[in-house]
Amino acid sequence: MANKDYTIRQLLEMEACTNCRICADVCPAVTAAGEGKISAVNRMKGIKEIVKSRGGLLSKLLGRKVSPEAMAQFSRDTFRCTLCGNCQEVCPVGIQLKDLWLSLRQDLVHSDAYPKEINMIRDNLAASHNVFAEDNDERADWVEDMSEPPDHGFLKEKAEVVYFTGCVAAYFPLAQKIPMALADIMASTDVDFTLMGEEEWCCGFPLLGAGLKDLFHTFRDHNLAAVRAKGAREVVFACPSCYQMWREHYPQGDLKFTHASQFLLRMLRRGDIPMKPLDMTVTYHDPCDLGRAARVFDEPREAIGLIPGVRLVELPRNRENCLCCGGGGNLEMLSKELSADIARLKIEEILSTGAQAVVTACQQCVRTMTTHVRRNKVALEVLDLTQLIQRALDKEEA
C-alpha cells in the first residue's frame, strides 16, 4: 500500500516530531494501562517506519519491510486510543496529531492490517445506518417514554430547528434521558423544532474513527438533504462528536450548526427558560470533542452559572487539559477494560472535588461515567447539562 492516506503536511509533520514524550505524560490510555507502547510518541515511531518501508528502491534493497506480525501488533496498539486530542494539545511542535491518527487508521484499513472488530462498524452502518445495528425506524422511539409525549412525536414536515439526536442517545437507555430533557425544554419554551426520525443517519464519526472515511460521503449527503428538506435554518446537537463532524466535514451553506450548550445558553440569556433554584454543588467535565476539538469551554459553564443555587467547582484538570472519560475513539469496542480503567481515573478525580454531581455536555461521557458509577456503587450523580437545566425548569412559569 502506498502512502496516499497522508497529506504532504502530515508526511512533513512526522519528521518534525522531537521525541520529547510530553504527549505520553498526558495520555489517559498510557496512564490507565501503564503501557508506553500505546503512547503517541511510540505510535509516531511506528508510523514513520511503515511510511519509510514503502519508500522506493533503497528500502527494497535494504529489506526495510514491516512484518505482518509487527503490523498486526502496531495496529492493535494504535486503536487503543480514545482520540481525545490531549497529545495534540501539548505538542510543542504543533503537530496536528488527531488528524494524523485518523489518517493512520485509514492506512491500516487500506493495508488490511486493522482489528477485525472494525468490520462490525462497517457492516452495521451499511445495513442499518446506525452503529448498533438497531432498526433505524426506531430512532425517535425514545419520545414515547417521555412523561407527556406529543401526538406528532416531534416529527414535523417543516421546522426552523432540527434536533440531530445521534446514535448513542437514540438507542442507549442510559443516554436517552438527554434527548428527552432537551426536547422537553424546547417544547416547554415553544421552540419550533423537529426530529428527523428514520431519516437521521449516523453522522459518520464512527467511520472516521474506524479508518473507514471512504464510506462517509454517503452519510453526509443523505443527512444534509434530509435537514434541508425540513426547511430548517439551524441544526442542534447534544452530541459533541456529531457537532464536530458537521462543523468540520459537512458544507454549512446557509445552515447554522449549534451545540445544545450554546443553544440553551442563548435561551437562558434571553430569559426564555424560567428557572427555579437548585441547591447543588457540581463540577463540570469538558467533553473532548466539545472542549479541545471545538473550543467550547465557556458556554456550558456560563449556563450552569445562570441556574439559581447551583455552585460550580472546577476539576483539577479542566478545559483544554481535561482528562478523557474513556468513551471515545471506538475504544470500548476494542478494549472494554482499558476504557473502564480510564473512566475509573476520571471518577476518582471528580470525587476529589467534593461535588455532589458531575455535569457534562456529551451523551457518551454520561454513558461511560454512569456505567462506572453504577457498577462500583459510587455516590455520585452524573448529569448532562440538558438534564440539569430541565431539573431547574419552572414549568409553571413557562
pLDDT digits (tens, 9 = 90+) for 24-48: 999 999 999 999 999 999 999 999 9
Let me know whether 152 and 234 are in one domain.
yes
Let me know whether 208 and 139 are in one domain.
yes
- C-alpha grid cell for residue 66? 514491516
Residue 208 identity (one-letter amino acid): L
Measured CA distances, 86 to 15, 27, 96, 324 (Å): 20, 7, 11, 9
**3 belongs to a structural domain:** no
Burial track 9-27 (b if 16+ CB lie within 10 A, e otherwise): ebeebbeebeeeeebbebb
**Chain center to CA of 381:** 21
- The range of the structural domain enclosing residue 144 comes to 135-266
Let me know whether 249 and 288 are in one domain.
no
**Chain center to CA of 108:** 22
392: left (phi > 0), else alpha (psi -120 to 50), else beta? alpha
pLDDT digits (tens, 9 = 90+) for 176-188: 999 999 999 999 9
Let me know whether 282 and 196 are in one domain.
no
SS3 381: strand
Domain final position from 266, 284, 319: 266
DSSP H/E element including 32: helix 28-33
Other CB atoms within 10 A of residue 315 CB: 20
Burial track 219-240 (b if 16+ CB lie within 10 A, e otherwise): bbebbbebbeebebebbbbbbb
For residues 276 and 269, what is the distance between their CA atoms, to the nearest angstrom? 15
pLDDT digits (tens, 9 = 90+) for 305-343: 999 999 999 999 999 999 999 999 999 988 999 999 999
pLDDT digits (tens, 9 = 90+) for 62-116: 446 778 888 999 999 999 999 999 999 999 999 999 999 999 999 999 999 999 9
pLDDT, position 101: 97
Let me know whether 381 and 330 are in one domain.
yes
Let me know whether 169 and 78 are in one domain.
no
Secondary structure of the chain: what % helix, strand, coil (to 5)?
A: 50, 10, 40
Other CB atoms within 10 A of residue 53 CB: 17
Find where cell 441547591 sits. 279
Let me know whether 304 and 328 are in one domain.
yes
What letter would DSSP give residue 115?
-
- Give helix 260-270 / helix 385-392 axis angle, nearest 10°: 30
- CATH code for the domain in which residue 57 is found: 1.10.1060
Domain final position from 206, 241, 266: 266
Whether the CB-CB separation of 240 and 290 falls below 8 Å is answered with yes
- CATH code for the domain in which residue 250 is found: 3.40.50
pLDDT digits (tens, 9 = 90+) for 212-255: 999 999 999 999 999 999 999 999 999 999 999 999 999 999 99
Expressed in angstroms, the distance from the first to the final Cα of the chain is 60
Whether the CB-CB separation of 29 and 82 falls below 8 Å is answered with yes
pLDDT, position 58: 45
pLDDT, position 398: 66
pLDDT, position 6: 95
**35 belongs to a structural domain:** yes
pLDDT digits (tens, 9 = 90+) for 113-150: 999 999 999 999 999 999 999 999 999 999 999 999 99
- CATH code for the domain in which residue 309 is found: 3.40.50.1860
pTM of the model: 0.95
**288 belongs to a structural domain:** yes
pLDDT, position 62: 45
Let me know whether 200 and 182 are in one domain.
yes
For residues 164 and 104, what is the distance between their CA atoms, to the nearest angstrom? 29
Confidence grade of residue 1 (pLDDT, cut at 50, 70, 90): low
**120 belongs to a structural domain:** no
Q: What are phi and psi of 313, to 5 degrees?
A: -115, 135
Domain final position from 197, 232, 266: 266
Let me know whether 102 and 202 are in one domain.
no
Contact partners, residue 312, CB within 8 Å, separation at least 6? 281, 282, 283, 284, 301, 304, 305
Confidence grade of residue 61 (pLDDT, cut at 50, 70, 90): very low
- C-alpha grid cell for residue 27? 495520555
Residue 312: beta bridge partners?
282
Residue 328: beta bridge partners?
none
pLDDT, position 65: 73
Q: What is the gyration radius of the CA atoms in the chain, in angstroms?
A: 22
Let me know whether 300 and 367 are in one domain.
yes
Let me know whether 261 and 333 are in one domain.
no
When divided into structural domains, the chain yields a total of: 3
**2 belongs to a structural domain:** no
Let me know whether 140 and 261 are in one domain.
yes
**224 belongs to a structural domain:** yes
**167 belongs to a structural domain:** yes
**61 belongs to a structural domain:** yes
pLDDT digits (tens, 9 = 90+) for 186-196: 999 999 999 99
